């Protein structure tokens, strides 16, 4: 029979995970910055009940995030450190590349239109992820067309037409702006 330490459940780690201290610090910093902005971002209405105040629930949630973030940071600092903090931080930073892809996509929509932007975004992102076969690119193209047809044509989501659409003849321009 094996000897197991039963004084502590297995769900509690014996050491910090790589990047945990950095995450705790960044979470606390972000929560405190948001809480500091609460006076400028929300209001307190005279004559309203406490639960109906626009500032109450955001203040409670951000206050809780600051309190629990500080507690987590304090408790995490006491636990034995494992190496790999900055390697983990680099993984987080590398994932921001996809946020940049999305920002470029959103900025491209008013310039070239929803249909060309979506096609370009899906195909380029497919290639970026390493899928180079013709079948993968055609699947990305089909997905882009499906998304445009469902959202813009089917659901009639109001997305501004691209400046590129203005170069089309009148009847085609109307169809492009309305459906694509």
Residue 145's CB is within 10 A of a number of other CB atoms, namely 15
Q: 17: Cβ–Cβ under 8 A, 6 or more apart, which residues? A: 82, 88
Tell me if the pTM is above 0.95. no
* pLDDT tens by residue, the chain, 180 residues: 455 555 555 565 566 677 788 888 999 999 999 999 998 988 888 888 888 888 999 999 999 999 999 998 888 877 777 777 778 888 888 999 999 999 999 999 999 999 999 999 999 999 999 999 999 999 999 999 999 999 998 998 888 888 888 888 988 888 888 888
- Give the angle subtended at the CA of 103 by the CAs of 98 and 106, to the nearest 5°: 125
CA distances from 42 to 37, 45, 56 (A): 9, 10, 9
- What are 107-156's pLDDT values in tens digits? 999 999 999 999 999 999 999 999 999 999 999 999 999 999 999 989 98
Sign of CA dihedral 55, 56, 57, 61: positive
3-state secondary structure of 80: strand
Residue 180's CB is within 10 A of a number of other CB atoms, namely 19
Among 141, 143, 178, smallest CA distance to 158 is for: 178
């Amino acid at each position: 029979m094996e000897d197991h330490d039963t004084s502590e459940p297995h769900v509690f780690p014996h050491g910090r995970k790589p990047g945990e201290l950095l995450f705790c610090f960044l979470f606390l910093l972000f929560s405190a910055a948001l809480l500091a902005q609460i006076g400028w971002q929300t209001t307190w209405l005279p004559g309203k009940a406490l639960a109906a105040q626009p500032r109450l629930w955001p203040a409670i949630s951000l206050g809780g995030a600051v309190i629990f973030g500080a507690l987590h940071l304090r408790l995490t600092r006491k636990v034995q450190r494992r190496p790999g903090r900055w390697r983990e931080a680099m993984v987080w930073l590398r994932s921001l590349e996809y946020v940049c892809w999305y920002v470029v996509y959103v900025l491209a929509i008013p310039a070239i239109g929803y249909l060309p932007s979506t096609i370009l975004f899906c195909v380029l992102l497919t290639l970026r992820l390493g899928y180079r076969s013709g079948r993968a690119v055609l699947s990305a193209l089909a997905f882009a067309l499906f998304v445009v047809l469902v959202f813009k044509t089917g659901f009639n989501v109001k997305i501004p037409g691209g400046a590129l659409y203005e170069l089309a003849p009148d009847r085609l321009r109307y169809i492009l702006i309305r459906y694509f």
